[in-house]
Structure 1
Amino acid sequence: MNKASNAYLQFLQGPGTKMLFEFVKEMPKPVTNVVSIPDLSSLIGPLFFTWIILLLFPVVLKSLVYEKQQKLRIMMKMHGLGDGPYWMISYAYFLAVSLIYMLLFMAVGSIIGLKFFTINDYSIQFVFYFIYMNLQIAAAFLVASMFSNVKACTAIGYILVFGTGLLAENLFRSFIEDASVSRRGIILLQLYPGFSLYRGLYELAQYPLQEKRVGMGWDDLNDNQNGMREVFIIMVIEWFVVLFVAYCIDQVVSSGSGKSPLFFLQRIRKKKLASLRRPSLQRQGSKVSVQMEKSDVSHEIEMVERLVLEQNTSHAIVCDNLKKVYPGRDGNPEKFAVKGLSLALPPGECFGMLGPNGAGKTSFISMMTGLTKPTSGTAYVHGMDIRTQMNDIYTSMGFCPQHDLLWETLTGREHLLFYGRLKNLKGRALMQAVEESLKSVKLFDGGIADKQAGKYSGGMKRRLSVAISLIGDPKVVYMDEPSTGLDPSSRNHLWNVIKTAKQDRAIILTTHSMEEAEVLCDRLGIFVDGRMQCIGNPKELKGRHGGLYVFTMTTSWEHEEKVERIVQKLSPNANKTYRLSGTQKFELPKNEVRIADVFQAVEFAKSRFPVFAWGVVDTTLEDVFVKVAAAAAASSSYDI
C-alpha cells in the first residue's frame, strides 16, 4: 500500500516526492471487544444461555397440561390424592429435574473452560439459577391453568422461549446499556421473568469482559452499577406471588367443580352448613315431587326423606333431590340434566342406571364423583356431603370412567401400584393387592402386566380401569359402562369380578346392556329426560311395566286379517305393535291369556291356512326399557 501511494505521489508531484512509512497499527477498537476464544461465551451467553434455561418451561408446562387434558389429575384426586400433596409432589419433581439440569449446565461450562462460569462466584450462580428455576416452575403452574390442550400449550411455550430471547437481546439489552432509560422502567420490564433471567445472565457476562478479569462476588451486589441485586429481589418476590396466585386459580377452576374464589374461608362456611344441614334437607324432599312421581319412585323419595332426618344411617349413598341445570348459551335455553333425583343405596348393593343417551346419567355420575357441583340438593356418601366433603369421600371411593384414563407410558402393574399407594396400601399388602387385581382381570399372564398401557388393546385398557376402581377396597364404586368393548368371554369374567366385589361395597353402574344389568344389578332405575321413571329389581320391573306376552306369527299377506281375528278372540285387549309382509306382532296381557290357549290358537290357525313361523315370548328387560322410555318421552312436559 505504501509503494502504491509513493508511485502515485511521484506521478503527480515528481520523482522527489516520497511518503515515509513508519509502522503498522490495528484499527482502534474498544478494549472489551478484544477477547480470546473462551470469552466468546460472555458475548453470546446472555442470549444463548437464556434459551437453554427457558427450554425447561415448555417441558414442565406440557406435563401439567397433559395430566389435565387426559383427566389423569382428577382420576388421582378421585382415588385420594389431594390438591396439596399433588402440588408438593409435582413441584418437588420438577424442581429436582431443573436442578440436575442446571448443575450439568454449570459443570459442562466449567469443564470446557468458559470464563462465564469459571470467573464468577459459583455460589452466586447457583443461587441465581435456583431462584429462577422455582420462579419458572411457579409460572408454568400458572400458565397451565389457562390451557386444556397439550399441542396448543406446547406451541405457545416454545414461542415464548424464542420470543423472549430475541426481545431481550435486541430490545431489553439496549435499554440496559442506554443511560437515558430510567431505572424504574428497567425494573418494570424485569417483572417479566424472562427479562429477569436475561438481566442476571447479562450481569454475569460483563465481569469476564473487564480488564481486571475478576468475576462477580457477593460484595459486588452493593455496586449501584450492578443490577444483580434488583434481579434477586424481583425474582424472590415474584416466585411466592406467582405460586400463590397459581394455586388460587387452580383451586377455583380445577377438577370441573372448582371452588369459590374465597375458598380459604370455606371452613367457616362448612360450619354454617353443618348447623343448617338437617332442616334444609328436610325441606328439599318436597311433597309436590312425591305426588307427581310413580309409586315406586315415590317410595324411594319417602325413604330418602326419612334417612336424611336420621343422625346415623347405614346406607352408603343417599341422594336427596339432586338437581343439575346447565346455563343456556348462544341464545339456547337452560338444560335440565337432572331433575330432582332421590336415591338410597345400602352397602352390598349394585344399582344399575339405565337410560337413553342424553338422559342425564353422566351428569349424575359427574356430581357424585366431584366433577361438577349440583345446582341444588345434595348427596351423602357414608354420611359425608358431596358439596363440602368431597376430598374425604375420595379416600373411600373408586371410579371406572366411561373412557379409559391411563398414562400411556406406565405399565398395568405400575398403574395399580400407584393407585394402591393412594389408597394407603404399603409393602406386602400393596404387592398382594396388585397381584390379585391383575389376576382377577386377566392381565397377569404373558407379561401383559409389565407392558406399557399405551400398547394395550381396548379390552385390556377397560379391564385395567375396572381393576383400578376396585383396588384398595373402596366402600363406594362408580362404574360408567365398564364392559364396553369387551369380547363375550372377557365380559363374563369381568361380571364375575364385579359380582364378587359388590359383597361389601355399594356400586352404581351405568350400562346400555340389558343382559349386564340383569346379571349384575340388585336394583335398576330407568332414567329418562333427567328424571327417574321407575326403580326396582329386574323381575319387579318386568312384572310391573311388562305384564305382557309378545306373540308373533308369519303367514302370507292375504291371511293377515284371519290372524288378527284369532288373536282378538284369544285376548280382546291385544295390541298389534308390528306388521310387515305377513309378519305381525301382538302384545297380549298376561292376565287375559294362558300359554295353553296360545298353543291351541296356533293349532287352529295351522288347520285353516299356512303358518310359516310363530312364537310367544315373555317381556324382556329391553321391552320394559323401550316402553318406559317412550312413555316418559311422550309425557315429559313439566320440570320441578
Structure 2
Amino acid sequence: MENTNVQEKPKPCSPFSVFKWEIKQLISQVRVLLWKNYLLFTRQYFSTLVLILSPIFVCFLLWVIQRMVSSYIEGDLDYNPKLRDINKIKKCWEKDCVTIGFGLTGGKNEWSEYVINQVAKEHNLAIGKDIRIYSENGYKEFTDYIQKHMNQTRFGVVMCTKNFPLPDNDYLKEIPCGPVGEYSNYLYSLIYNFTESPINVFDRGAPDPLDENVAAVKLAIDKATLEFQGKIAKKQVPKLEMLLQGYPKTKNRLMAGYDSVSMTGPMFFFIPPLLIFGMIASEIVKEKELKLRHGLSVMGVSSTSFWLSWFITGLIISFISTNCLIISGYFFKFDFFLNSPYIIQLANFEMFAITMLMLGFWLTTVLNSAKLAYTISYTFLLFGIVLQSFLQSHLLTLLVHINELPSWAHWVRWGFTFYPGYNFSLIYYDIATKASSHPNYAERRWESGSEYAYENFWMPKSGYIKGFKFYIPPSIEVMQDQIFNFFIFVTMAWLFDHILPSNRGKSDPIYFMFTKDFWGCKRRKKRLLHEIEMVNVSLSDSEISYDDKSESSDGLRIEGLCKTYKKHWWSSSEDIQAVKPMHLSVQKEELLGLIGHNGAGKTTLLSMLTGLLSPSNGTAFIADYDISHDMDKICNIMGYCPQFNILWDELTGYEHLMLFCIIKNISKERRVNTVLEKLKEVDIEDAGDLLVGKYSGGMKRRLSVAISGIGNPSIIFMDEPTTGMDPISKRFVWKLIQKMKKDRVFILTTHSMEEAEVLADKIAVMVDGKIKCLGTPLYLKNHFGEGYKIELISKDTQKLWNYIEANFPTAHLVDMSGGSLVVSIPRTEAMDALRLYKLIESEDSHVANLIENWGLSNSSLEEVFMRVTEKIHHYK
C-alpha cells in the first residue's frame, strides 16, 4: 500500500515515554469516540431533544399543578357570597322520570287540588307526566309505590288531607289536618335523596348540604298554600320569595401555602435522569449486540476509552439537562430554586444523574439485547416513579427516621441508602423544608420557606413527631452515601465487564485483578525452536506433519491453539471442541484461504486470533507478539473485516473511515486523503456522504473491507468479505485484496471455492475444528482431486462405459446420465490417460465412432473440498 496510509507507531523508548504515549493514545481514542457519540445523538435528534427538554416540560407541569391548586384556593375564597334566586323548579328530563310524586293521607281536597294545579301551572309541569299522584290513602301506600319504582321520582311530597293517626302514646293520638278552630293546618312532608346533594369534599367542617332544588319545591308548595288561604279568607296575601346565600368562606388552612415543587419534586425531577439512564444504557447494549464494540476493540480501542467516552457523554448530557432544570426553576419562580444555592442544587441533581448512569453501565454488562435494555430501563423508570411517590412524602421521611423504630426497620433504612433515589430525596427534603413552603405537622399548617444557606448542608435535623424523637443526618453525609454508591456501581461495572465474555469477547477469571498480567507483569511463553508449516497431509492422517524453519517470524504462527466450550465448569464428554489443537504458520505476502462447512471452526479461529475469544489452550504469535499477552499491541498492527458488518447506521461512510483513521493514529495531514483513497478503492466515493443505514448489503461489505486496510496493518483478517456482493463488486474487491496482500500476512475465510482459488496462495480445509489439508490450489487438486476427468458425449453411453471399464481398470465412473459419460483417471496413471486419449482420437477405432464429442479437464477445488470433508458420493 502507499505510504499515505501508514499509521504512526510509538518508537522504543523509556517507560515514562511509553506511558506518555499511552495517555496520548487514550485521549485520542476518547476524543474520536466522543465525536462518534455526538454524531449518533445529533442524528437521533428527537430522542436527544426529549433528554434535554424533559426538565423544561417537568417544570412546566409542576407550574400548572401549582396554578391549579392556587386557583382552587383563591376560587374557594368568598367573604361576601352572592344571593341566589331559587324560585324555579328544574324539570326532570330523563326517560320515565317524574319530577314530583304526590301522596295524600285521605283523598283529595280543595287544598291539595289547588296546590298541585298551581305548582304545575307556575313551573310548566304536566300533570300525569311531570307530576303524578301515587297514593290517596296514607304514607304506606306512597312508600310502597316508591320502593316498587326505584330511581323514577326526583322529589316526593306527602300532603296531609285527613287526620293522620299516630302509634299509641299518652300525648297525641293523631295529627290534625285542615281547619282547627279559627286556624287551618296545612301539613306536608318533603322527601328527597340526601346522597345526591352536593357536598364540599375539601371542607369537612361545612354544614349538612341543602339541595337548592328541594328548596324550590318547598317554596312552590308554600306559595300555593298561601294563595289558597288568601282565596278562602278573601284577603291579599304577601308574595313569598326565597333567596339563598352561603356562609362566607376563607382559605382552607390545609391547602393554603401548598407548594407543588416541595411536595412532588422528588418524583417529577426523578424522570429526566432516568430518561438519560435508559437512553445511554440502550445505546451501549445496542453496540454490544451488533458487535460494534468488538469491532472497535479489534481495531485497537481499549475498554477504558470505550467506557470513558460513554461516561463523558452521559456527564455532558446530564449537565445540560440539570442546568435546563435549574434555569426552568428560576424562570417559573419556584422557591426551591430561588432560595437555595446553585452549587448545592447542581451537586444533588448531577450526582444523582451520574450515579444512575453508573448503575446503567453495570446493567449493560449483563444485558445482551437492546430490546431487553429498553424494557428494563422503562420498567425501572415506572417502578422508580412509584417508589419516589412514597419517598417524596415529608411525613414518611420523618417517620422512617424515628429513633424508637424496631431493629428490622433500621436495617431496611440502611438498605435504602444504596438506592440513589432515596439519597436524592433526602437531600431534596433537606433543601425543600428550608427553601420552600412545607407542611408543619405539629401545628397542622403550611410553613413558608426562607433561605437555604451553605451551612445548612452540614446541619442535621431533629425533633419530635407524635411524641417520638426523630433524627435525620446532615445532607453532607447523605451525599457521601451517594458518592459511595457511585463507586460501588463503577466497581461492579468494571468487574462484570471483565468476567462476562459477552462484553470484551473473552472473559477473565473473577480474581483477574490479582494476576500478573493485569498489573503489566506479562509472562511470555517459551517460544518453540521451529516454525510450523503443514505439508502433504492425507485424509487419513491423524497427526499433522511440519518442517522446521527459522526461529523468528514476521508473520503468523499458531502453536497448539484450541477452543473448547464446556457444558459444565468441569471437563466432561458433553464439552464441544470447536477448534482442536492446531499448528500453522503463514509468512509475509502470503494469503491463506480458510474453507470449510458451517460450524467447522473458521470464525472461532479468527475470533481467537483477533482477541474476541480466549483460547482454551495454546497460543499464537503475530509479528512476534503473543496473543495471550500482547493483544493491545497486536490490535495496533491488525486489520479486521468481520463476518457481519460492524457499522453504525447513523454515520456516513466518510465518517466511518475518518473514525478508524483517528483510531489507527493516522496523522491529521493524511486523514482526508486516506479516507478519499479508501472510498475510491471500494468504489463508493459517490456514496461517501450517505448514511450507512441507506447502503445496500454489498456497499456495507465493501466499506468493511476498506476499514480493514486503514493504518497499513501488518496482518489482515477477513471473514467472508464478499458475502452478499454481486459478481462485478466481488471481482472489484478481489483486485483490491490482491493489491492489499503486498507486504502483509492475509487470512481469509470464504465459502466460495472460486474466490479461494483466485486469491489464496495457500488453502486450508477445516473440518470439525481441525485442518485436514493445506497447500496451494494446484497441490490440493493434484493430491486430493479425482485426477484427470474426461467427459464423453455418446448415443450409447452404457456400451462405451463397458468397453472403457474392460480395457482401462484404473478408470472410475463419475457420472453417466443424459447421453453424457464422465470418467476419471488418477493422476498417477498418466499412461492410461494417454492410451484413452489416443483411442478417442483414433479415426479407425470403433470406440471413436461411439463418441460424438469429448472434453478433458482437471479436478476442481470444489471436488477437493467435497472429498476432504467426506461429503461426495462416488458412483461405481
TM range (shorter): 0.7 to 0.9
* Pair 1:223 & 2:459 matched: yes
Tell me how far 1:108 sits from its aligned partner: 1.5
Partner of 1:82: 302
In the alignment, which of 230, 236, 241 is matched to residue 483 of structure 2? 236
In 1: Cα distance, 2:422 partner to 2:873 partner: 62
Query: Aligned partners of 1:483, 1:360: CA distance in 2, in Å?
Result: 19
Q: Measured at CA, do residues 263 and 345 of structure 1 come closer, stay the same or move farther in structure 2, by a change above 3 Å?
A: same
| Map 1:24-423 → 2, pairs under 5 A | 24=248, 26=250, 29-30=253-254, 33-35=255-257, 39-170=259-390, 173=393, 175-178=396-399, 179=402, 181=405, 185-207=412-434, 208-210=436-438, 211-225=447-461, 227=473, 228-253=475-500, 254-267=503-516, 274=523, 277-278=526-527, 281=528, 298-299=544-545, 301-303=546-548, 310=551, 313-328=552-567, 333-423=574-664
Deviation at 1:606, TM superposition (A): 6.5
Distance in 2 (alpha carbons) for counterparts of 1:392 and 1:572? 59
Cα 1:318/1:296, change in 2 over 3 Å: farther
Quick one: distance in 2 between partners of 1:470 and 1:40? 60
* Partner AA of 2:862 in structure 1: E
For 1:555 and 1:290, the matched residues in 2 are separated by 38
Check 1:23–1:549 CA distance in 2 against 1; reply closer, same or farther (3 A cut).
closer
The C-alpha deviation readout for 1:276-308, integer Å capped at 9, x for no partner, is 523xx57999x9x99998789844x344xx55x
State the shift of 1:368 in Å: 0.7
Deviation at 1:618, TM superposition (A): 1.4
Deviations 1:426-462 (A, max 9, x none): 31211111111110000112xx001011100000000
Letter matched to residue 177 of structure 1: L
Contact persistence 1:551–1:617 (CA under 8 A) = yes
Q: 1:297 to 1:467 in 2, by over 3 A?
A: farther
Displacement of 1:477 after TM fit?
A: 0.6
Matches within 5 A, 1:568-579: 568=805, 571-579=808-816
| Closer, same or farther: CA 605–358 of 1 in aligned 2, 3 Å | farther
Taking the aligned partners of 1:240 and 1:148, their CA distance within structure 2 comes to: 23
* 8 A Cα contact 2:637 2:713, kept in partner: yes
Would you say 1:434 and 2:654 are equivalent positions? no
Distance 1:337 1:535 in 2: 19
Q: Deviation per CA, 1:534-553: give whole Å up to 9, x if none.
A: 11111122122226112233
SS in 2 for 1:503: coil
Contact 1:120 1:214 (C-alpha < 8 Å) held by counterparts: no
**2:136 matched residue in structure 1:** none
The alignment partner of 2:716 has SS state of: strand
Structure 1 unmatched ranges of 5 or more? 9-20, 635-640
For residue 109 of structure 1, what is the amino acid of its counterpart? Answer: G
* Partner SS, residue 127 of structure 1: helix
The DSSP-based 3-state class of the residue aligned with 2:340 is: coil
What CA distance in whole angstroms lies between the structure 1 residues aligned with 2:334 and 2:710? 54
- 243-252 or 500-509, larger mean C-alpha shift: 243-252
What is the rounded CA distance, in whole Å, between the counterparts of 2:846 and 2:661 in structure 1?
65
Distance in 1, Cα, partners of 2:782 & 2:357: 62
Task: Find the aligned partners of 1:542 and 1:183 in 2 and give their Cα distance.
Answer: 79
Contact 1:338–1:364 (8 Å) recurs in 2: yes
Deviation at 1:196, TM superposition (A): 2.2
- Secondary structure at the aligned position of 2:862 is classed as helix
The Cα shift of 1:528 comes to 1.3
Matched letter for residue 668 of structure 2: G
Q: 1:468 offset after TM fit, Å?
A: 0.6
C-alpha offsets along residues 363-416 of structure 1, whole Å, 9 cap, x if unaligned?
A: 111111112111111101111111122122111111101111110100001011
CA contact (8 A) 1:284 1:320 kept: no
Which one-letter code corresponds to 1:403 in the other structure?
F
Is 2:553–2:587's contact at 8 Å kept on the other side of the alignment? yes
CA contact (8 A) 1:315 1:345 kept: no
C-alpha contact 2:652 2:689 (8 A) present in aligned 1: yes
SS across alignment from 2:269: helix
| Mapping of residues 610-621 of structure 1, within 5 Å | 611=851, 614-621=854-861
Q: Distance in 2 between matches of 1:403 and 1:3?
A: 75
Report what 1:561 is aligned to. 798
Residues 504/23 of structure 1: CA separation in 2 closer, same or farther (3 Å cut): same
- Distance in 1, matches of 2:537 and 2:734, equals 37
Alignment partner of 2:272: what SS? helix
Stretches of structure 2 that go unaligned for 5 or more consecutive residues are: 1-206, 219-244, 439-446, 462-471
Note if contact 1:176-1:186 (Cα within 8 Å) is conserved in structure 2. Answer: no
Shift of residue 65 of structure 1? Answer: 0.5
SS of aligned partner of 2:683:
coil
- Tell me what 1:512 maps to: 751
Q: Following the alignment from structure 1 to structure 2, what is the Cα–Cα distance between the partners of residues 587 and 507?
A: 35
* C-alpha contact 1:147 1:153 (8 A) present in aligned 2: yes
Q: 1:112 to 1:333 in 2, by over 3 A?
A: same
Contact 2:524 2:629 in 1 (8 A): no
Amino acid at match of 1:434: V
**Could you report, residue by residue, the CA deviation over 1:503-525 in whole angstroms, capped at 9, with x for unpaired residues?**
01111001111211121111111
Give runs of aligned pairs for residues 3-22 of structure 1, distance below 5 A: none
User: Is 1:627 the counterpart of 2:849 in the alignment?
Assistant: no
CA offset digits 1:480-499 (Å, max 9, x no partner): 11111111211111111111
1:346-366 Cα deviation digits (max 9, x unpaired): 111111111122211111111
Q: How many percent of aligned residue pairs carry the same amino acid?
A: 29
> Matched residues in 2 for 1:166 and 1:139: separation?
19
Any idea what the Cα deviations from partners look like across 1:538-572, whole Å, max 9, x if unmatched?
Answer: 1122122226112233445xx34311133235632
Aligned residues of 1:297 and 1:532 also touching (Cα < 8 A): no
SS at match of 2:789: strand
For the residue of structure 2 that corresponds to 1:267, the secondary structure is: coil
Give, in whole Å, the separation in 2 of the partners of 1:494 and 1:599.
44
Instruction: Name the counterpart of 1:593.
Output: 832
Pick from 540, 558, 574 the counterpart of residue 779 of structure 2.
Answer: 540
Sort the Cα spacing of 1:2 and 1:497 in 2 relative to 1 into closer, same or farther, 3 A: closer
In structure 2, the CA distance between the partners of 1:24 and 1:230, relative to structure 1 (3 Å rule), is farther
CA distance in 2, matches of 1:541, 1:414: 43
Matches of 2:310 and 2:456 in 1, distance apart?
Answer: 36
1:631 Cα offset (Å): 7.7
Distance in 1, matches of 2:873 and 2:384, equals 58
Q: Distance in 2 between matches of 1:419 and 1:2?
A: 79
Greater percentage in helix: 1
Aligned: 1:529 with 2:768: yes
